[in-house]
């Protein structure tokens, strides 16, 4: 059910398999494993420890991750995007009466995101929210708010690596069952950003759509070849000893 990429175990199953799998955890961190996120983990010991512990599930979110799986000879069958997993968790919470907490984005985006989610999922309990503009080392009031609202799922939309650092630093202290860094997903739910057309998503070209819409993103793409080169080098080295 997993493909080994460098130091990571990346989930290699269907979306339904994933939902069944994470349901077994009392506490789980879902990491959207695109090359940028995974490459950041290789450079930071705290993130690497968090990404590789037993309570973390890395999903294959990114065409670069799928390419890497082919390089190591254990192809990942299906790309699983973070926003789709987030939606599935929200639906689960709506159906089961469990609360969610939204942390991240600008305040105006967060407000519209909350409003739109309540319209789309009327019974959904959003127990709290806070924008993403705060000091990671001085956020006791936010942690207190999350603890008091006791959500089942905490979605953190502050971009990588900030969202990953927040979860890594506070996961053990907070009472949530599901922790998930969701990048720009609040912007999508708020209607500020549109996802790529379905045909582009199907072809693994969502990254291209984002770059076209936000040219500043192009500098982040350098992590893809860097990650793939590490995978290639590691695979060659491993082959010599096999």
Q: Assess whether pLDDT exceeds 90 at residue 2.
A: yes
Q: What is the pLDDT of residue 239?
A: 61
Mean pLDDT throughout 101-112?
Answer: 98
Do both 46 and 15 map to the same domain? yes
Do both 135 and 230 map to the same domain? no
Do both 189 and 112 map to the same domain? yes
Q: What is the pLDDT of residue 224?
A: 86
Is 172 among the domain residues?
A: yes
User: pLDDT grade, residue 240 (50/70/90)?
Assistant: low
Do both 30 and 17 map to the same domain? yes
Q: Mean pLDDT, the chain, as a whole number?
A: 92
Is 131 among the domain residues?
A: yes
Is 202 among the domain residues?
A: no
User: pLDDT grade, residue 204 (50/70/90)?
Assistant: confident
Distance, in Å, from the CA atom of 141 to the CA atom of 229, rounded to the nearest integer, reads: 42
Do both 97 and 58 map to the same domain? no
13-27, 79-93, 124-138, 208-222, range with the lowest pLDDT: 208-222
User: pLDDT grade, residue 54 (50/70/90)?
Assistant: very high
Q: What is the pLDDT of residue 194?
A: 77
Q: Assess whether pLDDT exceeds 60 at residue 241.
A: no
Distance separating the N- and C-terminal Cα atoms of the chain: 23
Do both 90 and 188 map to the same domain? yes
Q: What percent of the chain has pLDDT over 70?
A: 96
Count: domains in the chain: 2
Look at residue 36 and give its three-state secondary structure.
helix
Mean pLDDT throughout 80-92?
Answer: 96
Each residue's pLDDT tens digit, 163-174: 999 999 999 999
CATH number of the CATH domain containing 118: 3.40.50.2300
Q: Assess whether pLDDT exceeds 90 at residue 17.
A: yes
Ordered DSSP codes for 110-171: HHHHHHHHHHHSTT-EEEEEE-S-S-TTS-HHHHHHHHHH--SEEEEES-TTHHHHHHHHHT
Is 213 among the domain residues?
A: no
Do both 110 and 40 map to the same domain? no
Q: What is the pLDDT of residue 122?
A: 94
Distance, in Å, from the CA atom of 188 to the CA atom of 165, rounded to the nearest integer, reads: 22
Residue 126: beta bridge partners? 100
Q: What is the pLDDT of residue 193?
A: 79
Is 15 among the domain residues?
A: yes
Do both 71 and 135 map to the same domain? no
Is 36 among the domain residues?
A: yes
Q: What is the pLDDT of residue 196?
A: 74
Q: Assess whether pLDDT exceeds 90 at residue 84.
A: yes
Is 108 among the domain residues?
A: yes
Q: What is the pLDDT of residue 110?
A: 98
Do both 100 and 76 map to the same domain? no
Q: Assess whether pLDDT exceeds 80 at residue 53.
A: yes
User: pLDDT grade, residue 221 (50/70/90)?
Assistant: confident
Distance, in Å, from the CA atom of 124 to the CA atom of 96, rounded to the nearest integer, reads: 9
Distance, in Å, from the CA atom of 209 to the CA atom of 156, rounded to the nearest integer, reads: 23
Do both 87 and 164 map to the same domain? yes
Do both 73 and 91 map to the same domain? no
Do both 107 and 21 map to the same domain? no
Is 214 among the domain residues?
A: no
Question: What residue numbers bound the domain in which 62 lies?
Answer: 1-80+221-237
């Amino acid at each position: 059910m997993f493909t080994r990429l460098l130091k990571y175990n990346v989930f290699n199953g269907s979306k339904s398999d994933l939902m069944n799998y994470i349901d077994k955890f009392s506490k789980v961190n879902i990491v959207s494993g695109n090359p940028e996120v995974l490459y950041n983990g290789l450079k930071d010991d705290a993130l690497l420890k968090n990404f590789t512990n037993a309570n973390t599930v890395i999903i294959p979110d990114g065409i670069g991750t799928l390419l890497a799986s082919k390089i190591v000879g254990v192809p990942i069958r299906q790309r699983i995007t973070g926003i789709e997993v987030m939606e599935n968790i929200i639906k689960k919470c709506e159906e089961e009466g469990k609360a969610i907490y939204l942390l991240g984005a600008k305040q105006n985006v967060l407000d519209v995101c909350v409003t739109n989610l309540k319209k789309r999922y009327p019974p959904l309990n959003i127990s709290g929210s806070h924008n993403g503009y705060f000091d990671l080392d001085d956020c006791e009031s936010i942690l207190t708010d999350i603890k008091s609202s006791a959500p089942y799922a905490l979605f953190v939309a502050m971009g990588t690596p900030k969202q990953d650092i927040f979860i890594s630093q506070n996961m053990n202290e907070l009472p949530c069952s599901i922790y998930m860094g969701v990048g720009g997903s609040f912007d999508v739910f708020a209607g500020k950003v549109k996802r790529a057309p379905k045909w582009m998503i199907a072809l693994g070209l969502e990254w291209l759509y984002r770059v076209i819409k936000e040219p500043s993103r192009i500098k982040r793409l350098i992590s893809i070849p860097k990650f793939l080169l590490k995978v290639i080098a590691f695979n060659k080295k491993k082959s010599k000893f096999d």
